[in-house]
Chain A
Amino acid sequence: MNALSRGQSWLLHGGLLLVALVFPLVFPSSFMVNFGVLALFYAFIGQSWNIAGGFAGQLSFGHVVFFGAGAYASTILQMQYGLNAWWGLPASAVAGAVVGWVIGVLSFRAGLKGSYFALITLAFAETMRILANSVEITGGGMGMLIPAKPSVDNLQFAERIGFYYLILALTVASIAIAVWLKHSRFGAQLAAIRENEDSARALGINIFAEKVKVMMLSGAMAGLGGCFFAQYFLYIDPSIVFGVDKSVEMLLVSMIGGAGTVYGPLVGAVLLAGIGDVTRTLFDAQGLSLVLYGTLLVVIIAFLPNGLIDLFKRLWFWRNPTTAAAKVKATKAGVESKEGA
């Protein structure tokens, strides 16, 4: 929040939180609460992608590998070993982090970066999809059905609003992590790695260790997203939780909202859920929302590489020429950190 003062920044965080808290109370219809749950869910898994892809520059095309690991870890513990569903939350985070560690150690040891890292994550996700499809403990291609027994003890809320506040808590935590990355030493090291690995190494940053760490953090978050998904929809199968579509959605909400920014994934997610609902209601055209999203991705990369959030920032500067001037001065002095929001 370079552009905003500390007070304004707290006002923004607090205002958004307040809006999110009262949203299901003002719009209690199941349609609107479901919209809220999906928007926050995409914001959460998008933030998980953003931590690795945006903040650390480790672009992944197969982020679903962590998501699916979390979904399966929590569901298998619950269904095959009879553990209480709440244990699924820590279990899925651990599963995501372990997968993040394995993929990080293997890929970064081999020195993969950029497009090659993006493609190898896709191959890992594909491997996991085929494994989940082929072994017995996952129910194979039939998937796993979690019986509906609505009760808070089961992590199944009778009303959607329970899920809403659960995913809101997760999303708030993920945004807090993103804010922390903006201000912490770890976050600064990741930014240095993203901008130029050689210079980062010259500064004494242990690139390998930091990149593995961020994959574990991002993986744990995506794993939690998988657990939430399983409990909300009560069904998972290999092509849903290890499929390309989820990976693409995580990447899209983050890239379109603004990769490497705190609120980018939230902006992208509200837009994705919104466009999805609007096109479904107004036009009976399968695929239309993703047509719009694919176009947006191309346009964003071409003209707005910092995402839609950059538009808001530009409007803000336009209305507050003094801060804008200060920012320009700061840029000239070369002390501008890359992101404002």
Chain B
Amino acid sequence: MDLSIIASATINGLLLGGVYTLVASGLTLIYGVLHIINFAHGSMLMLAMFGVFYLLTKLGIDPYLSIFIMVPAMFAFGYLLYKGLIGRFAGGKDENILLITLGLAILIENLALMFFKGDTRTISVPYSDTMISLGTTLVPLPKLISFGAALGLCALLGLLITRTDTGKAIRAVAKERVGARLVGIDVDRVFAISYGIGLATLGAAACLLMPIFYVSPTTGHVFIMVAFTVVVLGGMGSFLGAVVGGLIVGLTESFGGLFLGESLGQIGIPVIFILILLFRPQGLFGAKQ
């Protein structure tokens, strides 16, 4: 096979993987701190993408500028959702919280269907068609921006977790809930903040995705399997894992499409998910349980 085709598949896979990483980093944070699996992650991303869509079409705000609106908005949404609903059940059986988030996903998806109808929406911005050449491959500018911004935001999230007092509190709660409470950390508040940050990453991801992707009420389905695969591949709760996992999953999708065709090419992601859960459930970077 032609080397330039391989190169272009690699570049496309990596670019895709950057955004997957951002989507998955919120999921892995929520799991790492709260030990709950947020099944509503995909539908919340969809909700945020509709937010970006309407900010552009109704108010004319550029999707990349929307980050400054969507990130705080999604944070507030997550914080309140945790305080009002999820927090009350988070201590129980993990299946119950999974079912609650499934109920939320069904609710959000079908509310979206009621209000936005089932149509697929895309946006166009002045720079949509600008191409940049990377070696022999032409890459649309928004994809490149999304990739760079996604990795930048992941780094920022990493700094937030490792360098700030809030981050320290989050890490303390993730490691040792009782101990954290004993040294005076408001554990419930940290949980709500973590859930809020988890959704805030979706707000950012939505802004980066909207110029290169479409949104419809079922868009969440596309990302839910991908996000879970990234997270289990990298190791539940590991940020480094989310970055490496995201890039591997992006490459898998890109090369799957290249070698197996458009339809069968999608099989790589669920197969990776199954193999990891069966043979290496701690993932690449997760701690052994």
**Which A residues are within 8 Å of any B CB, using their own CB?**
59, 61, 106-107, 109-110, 112, 114-116, 118-120, 122-124, 126-127, 130-131, 133-134, 140-141, 244, 248, 251-252, 255, 285-288, 290-291, 293-298, 301-302, 305
Contact = CB atoms under 8 A, between A and B. Distances in A.
B155 interface: no
26 contacts: A59-B99, A110-B281, A115-B95, A118-B98, A119-B277, A122-B225, A123-B229, A126-B225, A126-B269, A127-B267, A127-B271, A131-B264, A133-B264, A134-B264, A134-B267, A141-B263, A248-B106, A287-B113, A287-B217, A290-B109, A294-B104, A294-B106, A295-B103, A297-B106, A298-B104, A301-B89
A119 B85 CA distance: 23
A302 B100 contact: yes
Interface string B217-230: 10001000100110
B114 A110 contact: no
A106 B276 CA distance: 12
A248 B98 CA distance: 13
A123 B85 CA distance: 28
B94 interface: yes
Interface in B79-114: 85, 88-89, 93-96, 98-100, 102-114
Nearest to A103: B274
A110 B279 contact: yes
B117 interface: yes
**Nearest 10 CB-CB pairs, A to B?**
A294-B106, A287-B113, A294-B107, A287-B110, A297-B103, A134-B264, A298-B103, A126-B270, A290-B110, A123-B270
B100 A301 contact: yes
Interface string B258-289: 00010110110111011001110100000000
Nearest to B229: A123
A152 B107 CA distance: 41
B112 to A, nearest CB: 8
Interface of B: 37, 85, 88-89, 93-96, 98-100, 102-114, 117-118, 217, 221, 225, 228-229, 261, 263-264, 266-267, 269-271, 273-274, 277-279, 281
A130 B98 contact: no
Contacts of B102: 61, 248, 251, 297
Contacts of B106: 248, 252, 290-291, 293-294, 297
B100 A123 contact: no
A297 B113 contact: no
Contacts of A114: 93-95, 98
Contacts of A141: 263
Contacts, number: 125
A298 B107 contact: yes
A130 B96 contact: no
A289 B267 CA distance: 32
Given A107-B278, A244-B221, A119 B99 contact: no
B107 A291 contact: yes
Contacts of B264: 130-131, 133-134
Given A110-B279, A286-B118, A294-B110, 9 more contacts: A130-B266, A130-B270, A248-B102, A288-B114, A293-B106, A294-B104, A297-B106, A301-B89, A302-B89
Contacts of B273: 119-120, 123
B114 A285 contact: yes
A294 B103 contact: yes
Nearest to A109: B278
A232 B10 CA distance: 46
Contacts of A123: 225, 229, 270, 273-274, 277
Contacts of A294: 103-108, 110
A115 B270 contact: no
A115 B278 contact: no
A298 B274 contact: no
A296 B104 CA distance: 10
Q: Which of B89, B95, B100, B228 has the most CB of A within 10 A?
A: B95
A297 B99 contact: yes
Contacts of A251: 102
Given A127-B271, A291-B111, A116 B89 contact: no
A302 B99 CA distance: 10
